Amino acid sequence: MLAELRGLNEECGVFGIWGHEDAAQISYYGLHALQHRGQEGAGIVTKEGKKFHVIKGEGLVNEVFSGNEINDLKGNSAIGQVRYSTENGRGIENVQPLVFRSTTGSLSVAHNGNIVNAVELREHLERQGSIFQTNSDTEVLAHLIKKSSGSLTQRDRVKKALSMLKGAFAFVILTDDGLMVAQDPNGLRPLSLGKLGDAWVVASETCAFDLIGAEWVRSVEPGELIIINDKGLQSDRFAKAADSAMCSMEYVYFARPDSDIDGINIHSARKRCGKRLAREVHIEADVVTGVPDSSISAAIGFSEESGIPYELGLIKSRYVGRTFIQPTQEMRERGVKMKLSPVRQVVNGKRVVMVDDSIVRGTTSKRIVNLLKEAGATEVHVVIASPPLVSPCFYGVDISTDSELIATNRTVDEIRELIGADSLTFLSAEGMVEAIGRPDKTKNCGQCLACFTGEYPTEIYSDTVLPHKKEIV
């Protein structure tokens, strides 16, 4: 499904590198590979001796670093982030990494995910005199570290601070003597460790390693704190690993097809979901088409298993950008097809299986079904390569309320009716878990299914149920 058309977005991607003379340039390319995880802001912080350099801005990576700015980022270690911002977190001050300046040594932090007890921790910190300049959860961690007793070592202070956080998070922390990397106790968001020559790198997705030519070493483990400095890499823990619960939507929608999560390739996992779906439902149809880009893999799988030919029934424009030009009334009535066009001759007079990865509000599905029917499809059978979304996500996916989800209080047939499809099929939860095929032996093979089942792997704080309650004026 098209991110641009529906607003199912994840919050951010992170990158870090220690010990490479081209730290900033490599971070630039690393963030470029993670661009699909956040397009609203980007930043890189480098460390040159004790001095921290920072450049960040709103927009794409190559907009923020459009000139020679990167050359000002001297130093051989760096962290960076690409950012998707929720309504509450707009503004240049929220672009990460944040830098905390101190006469005794500075600190830079970037993170990915969502901390469910952030409001409680903020209130606690404010009562002790902390003041906040951003709405971001990242700032909470910095205050917690700073507030820890001065008699602890820095590593212990970071561990203590991390142990107070609940939710989904991947942190990269650059201090004046090291790079620290942490993953939440459930491992809800992907985070991988790699090597580039003698340098260590970390990234939200392995596709960043491929672009920079780094080798994947392993995933950062749930509850693990990795400390990298000039003496090497040390693994520590700030929490016992809880049951692993990797976000299913990473496999279904977020991650790039060429990334692997815990050794499982995304394209392959999606294709298996498409195949499984073809085994769970039988449809008489002439062509299979996927909604580009994220549903192509599942559509190929569905076609291969069902034997129904796979076609490009929908084309995504390569040149989409912001436009302020108003379409005419006539165009508006027909639905402007700037981003997605049906291929008339492919679907005209045909029974079409339209494969999509998920349905959120249903409005986009309805528009695509309509596009296909206008182009002459005699039947449109919608098959979804994941189960119905029925519960909000508190771990960084921007689905905030039940009421936004078309599937919350509707039967499959009611949804089918609303989107105008001739049939509608969702992949079963078991089918999805088996098709993805994580080797983990824990519940759901270590996948978080909360948005499909309402069973959350972590405690959910009442105040944070609705993210808009977190708004800080």
Q: Answer yes or no whether residue 350 interacts with a copy of itself by CB under 8 A.
A: no
- Applying CB under 8 A, does 68 fall inside the site for a copy of itself? yes
**Closest approach of a copy of itself to the CB of residue 52, in Å:** 6
In the region spanning residues 153 to 182, those forming contacts with a copy of itself, defined by CB under 8 A, are 176
**Is 12 part of the annotated catalytic residue set?**
yes
Does 439 sit near a copy of itself (CB under 8 A)?
no
Q: Which stretch binds a copy of itself (CB under 8 A): 10-18, 207-215, 428-436, 445-453?
A: 207-215
14-45: burial string, b at 16+ Cβ within 10 Å, e else: bbbbbbbebbbbbbbbbbbbbebbbbbbbbbb
The neighbour count for residue 196, using CB atoms within 10 Å, is 18
**Taking the CA of residue 278 as centre, how many other CA atoms within 13 Å lie in the half-sphere pointing to its CB?**
25
Q: How far is the CB of 133 from a copy of itself (least distance, A)?
A: 5
With CB under 8 A as the contact rule, the residue among 1, 14, 45, 60 that binds a copy of itself is 60
- Residue closer to a copy of itself (CB basis): 97 or 392: 97
User: Residue 294, annotated ligand binder?
Assistant: yes
> Any contact of residue 472 with a copy of itself (CB under 8 A)?
yes
In Å, what is the CA distance from 389 to each residue of 252, 278, 368, 402, 426?
Answer: 12, 20, 19, 9, 10
Q: Is 103 in the site for a copy of itself (CB under 8 A)?
A: yes
- Closest distance of CB 99 from a copy of itself, Å: 6
Q: What is the largest CA-CA distance in the chain?
A: 75
Angle at 18 between CA 12 and CA 19, to 5 degrees: 150
445 labelled ligand-binding: no
Q: Shortest approach of a copy of itself to residue 196 CB, angstroms? A: 7
277 binds a copy of itself (CB under 8 A): no
Measured CA to CA, the distance from residue 181 to residue 173 in angstroms comes to 6
Q: What are phi and psi of 131, to 5 degrees?
A: -125, 145
> Backbone phi, then psi, for 134, in 5-degree steps?
-135, 170
Cβ neighbors of 2 (< 8 A, separation 6 or more) are 291, 292, 316, 339, 340, 364
Other beta carbons within 10 Å of 381 = 23
CB 40 within 8 A of CB 209: no
Q: Does 279 bind a copy of itself (CB under 8 A)?
A: no
List Cα–Cα distances, 46 to 90, 95, 96, 231, 303, in angstroms. 24, 15, 13, 19, 48
Q: Which residue from 18, 52, 171, 452 is in contact with a copy of itself, where contact means CB under 8 A?
A: 52
Determine, following the binding rule CB under 8 A, whether residue 257 of this chain makes contact with a copy of itself.
yes
CB of 92 to a copy of itself, least distance (A): 6
Is position 309 an interface residue for a copy of itself (rule: CB under 8 A)? yes
The catalytic position among 12, 207, 273, 445 is: 12
Point out which span in 5-13, 25-33, 151-159, 433-441 binds a copy of itself (CB under 8 A). 25-33
- 207 annotated as ligand-binding: no
Residues of the binding site for Mg(2+): 294, 356-357
Residues of the binding site: 247, 294, 356-357, 393, 448, 451
Q: Which residues are catalytic?
A: 12
